Amino acid sequence: MINTPFRAGTAAIVVALFGVGLVLMSRGQLMFAGLSFLGASILIYLRESRL
């Protein structure tokens, strides 16, 4: 396992990506919102499986 501050940092990035996705979705930019949610999901997967 990687150190805890790094894992906490990746969790903060995931929260930021979800926030960006929600803002983009509310503005009607659905493709970019979907990419933001996809990036957050991939980062969650990598955090749980590799970090």
For residue 51, the model assigns a pLDDT of: 63
Distance (Å, whole) CA 46 – CA 51: 7
CA distance 36 to 14: 9
Per-residue pLDDT of the chain (51 residues; tens, 9 = 90+): 557 888 889 999 999 999 999 999 999 999 999 999 999 999 999 988 876
What is the pLDDT, as a whole number, of residue 37?
Answer: 97
